[in-house]
Amino acid sequence: MKKFYLNMLGSLKSLHRQQSFCPVCGVQNARFLPLPDFYREHATRHGFIHFGKGEMTSLETYMCSNCTASDRERLYAWWLSRQIESLQLKRDIKCIHFAPEEALSKMIRNLNLFDYTTADLGMKNVDFVENIMSTSFEDESFDFFICSHVLEHVENDDRAIQELYRITKKGGSGILMAPIIVGLKSTIEDPTVTSEEGRWGMFGQYDHVRLYAHDDYVKKIRRRGFSIKEFGRDYFGANTFRCLGLKKTSILYVVEKQ
């Protein structure tokens, strides 16, 4: 853990000299792979008109060839490293990671800094089997959470956000992300669309039940009590986005319970 963390801090200071970097596995001059053709092929086959318009998903530099971390995982890891360095996230805080991404989760566990647990309803090898719309956790159980690309899968996303708010301590925070379509005026959802073909055509994936517009997403989160901050290219810097292989429109959404 100590060696990895020291390497990360060194990379923080020398990023301007690098061509690319994966903060999840720590590889400098990393090679990033494109989004698998599977998604483009299915989008074309089922007439999904918003393919390639995702706020976050970088089609050409999606995945680290070394650890398979996605572009969004790399952004989370980079932000987390900065928060740890500045002591905004302190040792031994209680952290829960819903639907944990494999590479990011492994990195966080290896840091051995947090009281870190994972939860999901369907995934194997998580610490807790939980439905995010109604968990068994007590009120204000966690200082920090990561919930990335979960809300687009659940029947009632308002209930899920409300549950995240309930289990977060006052003053606690979290990474709360969902796929957002650039330029979409209103969130698209239709509970009557249940077939795989219909969901591919409307939402861009067989197990998605809605497609978010930016303004609707932010308003939805605020209605459930969280404050929200948006960190984009202006915050992180163009060079950081280039080195991490991020799409220019990428935004990290961090929420806080006041």
Q: How far is CA 60 from CA 40, 92, 104, 148, in A?
A: 12, 37, 20, 21
Helix (H) or strand (E) holding 114: none
> Is residue 90 within 8 Å of residue 96, measured between CB atoms?
no
Q: How far apart are alpha carbons 113 and 116 in whole angstroms?
A: 8
Number of domains comprising the chain: 1
The long-range contacts involving 36-42, CB below 8 angstroms and separated by at least 24 positions, are: 36/62, 39/204, 39/205, 42/200, 42/206
The answer to pTM > 0.85 is yes
Instruction: Supply the range of the domain harboring residue 217.
Output: 2-256
Question: In terms of DSSP H, where are the helices of the chain?
Answer: 2-14, 37-46, 71-85, 102-111, 157-167, 196-203, 214-223, 233-236, 238-244
Tell me, what's the pLDDT at 19?
85
Q: Residue 221: which CATH number?
A: 3.40.50.150
Collapsed DSSP state (helix, strand, coil) of residue 70: strand
Tell me, what's the pLDDT at 1?
47
**Per-residue model confidence as pLDDT tens for the chain (258 residues):** 445 555 555 555 555 566 899 999 999 999 999 999 999 999 999 999 999 999 999 999 999 999 999 999 999 999 999 999 999 999 999 999 999 999 999 999 999 999 999 999 999 999 999 999 999 999 999 999 999 999 999 999 999 999 999 999 999 999 999 999 999 999 999 999 999 999 999 999 999 999 999 999 999 999 999 999 999 999 999 999 999 999 999 999 999 999
Q: How far is CA 83 from CA 8, 157, 201, 204, in A?
A: 12, 28, 39, 33
28: which 2 tokens?
């400098």
**CA quadruple 226, 54, 81, 240: dihedral sign:** negative
Q: How far apart are alpha carbons 158 and 226 in whole angstroms?
A: 12
